[in-house]
Structure 1
């Protein structure tokens, strides 16, 4: 006679990846205490191993295609969550690979700091996992704060650097304000519906028995909090300053995987929880999208600091993500069309993250001890110093600009197709116009690398793991642009199953 598996154990199965992350981060913190100077490579390898194990577990959950709720409905494991988690682990892993030499050169892995960089990075990822799988307002907020607190500490990790300290203060103050917006919006929704369960809120709102005025106010504060996390205009003030002031390794942690997690909670809160109010939040997203595309692309032209340029690029790219989100409800109630629009936005987020981490990875590759490669002039003549890395950076810039056959073109095309399908031709034309404007500053980087004389002719020294990772990153950008079908199909499958469960 077989012994039945306790229900408590069954409830834990969907959170195995998060448990691996938590146990791994805690164990690495303890192990690192006993490591001497020069032994921090063990911390690095253990961090990558932790992400790999968690990634395999999430991928296995994605392949099964099941949707499972646990912890009294506060946590959900569904195809959308698991696919986004796989790319979050991938992004975090690449970030650690790209950051290793940079962080070591700047003393971020030695002395009193030890392996805190890796541990805080893992806790940042853990917060993102909770955000992605949160099916209750409280669990979503818990994930947001776990991620945010870890990022605040990471931005200020170089305590002897006044720019990093200033960036940490700005990020902390404005981040606290955004969290307040989010929490106040949640409290108003709870006051109106009497529940914190996202599906419960959706049912109450659809029933039409709650005060719509209170709901609308709650949605306004909720969208404001989400817009801050995305870096959308007019909640973008922190992005260029924090990106520039943070160590580039931390900028990569800020500008990469958190966008995937924020996209997930946009789907959870707005689509799964507040779809009956779609007309109201769609109008807000439309304004945010247009402003982000305009201000992000136009302001980026004036930037000579590459980190600030990529920050404004992020703002503009988030405008496209918002277009995909609003296209799922604009002018149509067809669930198939909605799934296609949301999957296009999902594909766009993945594209943005893979391209952006490669771009910041190139900046770290060109940096060395005592020198930060963060100005446009620092890329002059890169093709003469190392032709292959010039090709890599060119591919990344072409993708961000949306030049075929790069992945960025497929992403922009899928989002614009979704918007055009709603009948909003003016919005599609506007997005194309601002994309053409934005192409200027991306192509300017390519011009500087290939046609300007090198200001610095010193050889580029790079570790093998970073060289291989950057090369594979660029190759993936090209291949996923030439053959976007499999990933687009995976996004559509994940979104369709998730929205119809």
Structure 2
């Protein structure tokens, strides 16, 4: 028997994060007095080094290793870097919040690090097993983070809902993968793609096409849950509302990049020749998400629930990019469509980091600034952060010239290029509906009298980073083409075959 040692070099970032997670775990066990600071500092250093390792090893080549379970390509590298910086930012925003509420413990940072590792595995997976392992590592870590504030009944309830629905969705996804494996005889995504292209004849007397269709339905259902789109959206508002805001920040940002990568790996990397079928399913989910997300958000008085429903509508926009890639078998629009979707995912993460960062900034020990009324008169308390929140709301509403506007515009352009004008019109109409509840927040900040006149206290690093985050929304809106070109280059280098 010949044993070939796999090439571990492409996976150096994941191996480093996994190793450091174990080191931090051991250190915090044996150094309990100073464990809180050690856990936070080492977690942040680990993420920074992981991002630098990815940058220094990035060469634009596609390398498959670990028995076809791992793929190193430019799309994965770009998303890993963004995930690292997203989690770094989320931990900085949430540190003071967690400390005030007594759950700034080493385990909190470890779960964040393990969730990051799960996301990294997801964006570099080339195999059903590795993809599922990464997904479960992310999901289990997030379940723990949602329930981390053990004294909060609301957090415990949200964690239970998230766990039960997440387990169901994972089961659906795994069942779909098993059916695709049964029809194609492959677990690697490249092998599945090749088998579908070759059109395998039968499986146990049943047309492999029939088995594939059932598997595809279950896979899309599992994927829809992770994105939080209709009709698998039920967990989103309850979990966003019930989780501590620092955890909501984690859930609503970096995992969206991992979910996008998961969609690209599964649907484009493995099931691309079935695009005419999964695009129809994505279309129904996108329409439902746009309509329900925007209309339900209007009725919300809780800011976190409003952002949850608006997040559902934003994920509907992301799906619009994915579903406009192939038109009647013609793939001419695929690159622009998937580029618009990736660009939208990145823009949404940048905006979500800033929006939940503002909520954390306004919160203090014993007080959660999570209702829209809590922002009343913010301009009189802090004109600077009122302006920053206005930038966020304008960008999310798609008002020129912020990054949110160009993200929506790129998706609409891909829809029009794919002759899906009616979908583009619907998306514009729902964006106009969404503008109402975003502009309501601006109205409350600038035209209502403040209810809470307490001064805004926050560490200087949070103030500086949050200001930079909000200004980046405006800056990227002035120069969006560079980010769009990066997304396009990453997709061309990763899926050129």
Contact 1:332 1:422 in 2 (8 A): no
Take 2:437 and 2:329, find their aligned partners in 1: how far apart are those partners? 36
Correspondence for 2:154 among 163, 170, 195: 163
Decide whether the 8 Å contact of 1:331 with 1:423 is kept in 2. Answer: no
Give the gaps of 5 or more residues in structure 2.
202-207
Q: Does 1:118 align with 2:109?
A: yes
> In the alignment, what sits opposite 2:284?
287
SS of the residue corresponding to residue 303 of structure 1 reads: coil
**2:195 equivalent to 1:188:** no
Shift in Å, 1:35:
4.1
C-alpha separation in 2, matches of 1:48 and 1:377: 34
The DSSP-based 3-state class of the residue aligned with 1:40 is helix
Unpaired stretches in structure 1, ≥5 consecutive residues? 1-5
For residue 38 of structure 1, report the CA deviation from its aligned partner: 6.6
TM-score, scaled to structure 1: 0.96
Q: Does 1:352 align with 2:343?
A: no
User: TM-score under structure 2 normalisation?
Assistant: 0.96
Aligned to 1:29: 25
Which residue matches 1:84?
79
| Alignment partner of 2:444 out of 441, 448, 462 | 448
Q: For 1:7-406, what aligned pairs fall within 5 Å after superposition?
A: 8=5, 11-36=7-32, 40-62=36-58, 64-109=59-104, 114-210=105-201, 211-331=208-328, 333-335=330-332, 337-406=333-402
- 1:352-371 CA-partner distances (Å, limit 9, x unpaired): 01101110111111111111
Q: Number of aligned residue pairs: give it.
A: 489
The answer to whether the Cα contact below 8 Å between 2:227 and 2:259 also exists between their aligned partners in 1 is yes
**Aligned equivalents of 2:435 and 2:463: distance in 1?**
27
Give the Cα separation in 2 of the matches to 1:138 and 1:87: 24
Segment of structure 1 superposing worse, 221-230 or 321-330: 321-330
Q: CA deviation at 1:37?
A: 5.1
Shift of 1:202: 0.8
Deviation per CA, 1:428-482, whole angstroms, max 9, x where unpaired? 1000000110011111111111111000011000101111110110111111111
Q: Give me the whole-angstrom Cα distance separating, in 2, the residues matched to 1:438 and 1:287.
A: 19
Q: Deviation per CA, 1:384-410: give whole Å up to 9, x if none.
A: 111111111111111111111110001
Kindly indicate whether the alpha-carbon contact (under 8 Å) linking 1:232 and 1:315 is maintained by their aligned counterparts in 2.
yes
User: CA–CA distance in 2 between the matches of 1:127 and 1:403?
Assistant: 35
Q: For residues 239 and 40 of structure 1, what CA distance do their matches in structure 2 show?
A: 30
Q: Distance in 1 between matches of 2:48 and 2:159?
A: 30
Q: For 1:11, what is the secondary structure of its paired residue?
A: coil
Among 435, 439, 458, the residue aligned to 1:439 = 435
Please, which moves more after superposition, 35-44 or 254-263?
35-44
C-alpha RMSD over aligned residues = 1.3
Sort the Cα spacing of 1:94 and 1:391 in 2 relative to 1 into closer, same or farther, 3 A. same
Is the CA contact (8 Å cut-off) linking 1:58 and 1:85 kept in structure 2? Answer: yes
Worse overlay, 406-415 or 14-23: 14-23
